[in-house]
Amino acid sequence: MLCDICHKREATVHLTSVTPDEVLGHRDLCEICFPFGTMSKQEREAAALKLIPHPPTKGGGESEASSEGR
């Protein structure tokens, strides 16, 4: 499977974003376009959010599950 960005190299990084209700998106990327091994956790999360946008959460930024018990 080829990288979704460059369409030249083999995809070795596979990003999938899910909620309890649905799959929001999936990207298959090569190590050059998404250098997973050299990124910090914060860098990976920021890059993933740019590649697979997430809808706004309910309850003013808290997830539904975390605000139910209050």
How confident is the model over 31-53, as pLDDT tens digits? 999 888 888 999 988 888 888 87
Length of the chain: 70
pLDDT one-digit tens code per residue, 1-27:
999 999 999 999 998 888 888 888 899
Q: In whole angstroms, give the CA distance from residue 66 to residue 50.
A: 24
Q: In whole angstroms, give the CA distance from residue 42 to residue 40.
A: 5
Please tell me the predicted confidence (pLDDT) of residue 6: 96
pTM confidence score: 0.64
Q: In whole angstroms, give the CA distance from residue 26 to residue 46.
A: 15
The torsion angles phi and psi of 56, rounded to 5 degrees, stand at -60, 145
Beta bridge partners of 13: 29
The single-letter code of the amino acid at 40 is S
Which tokens go with 67?
């605000």
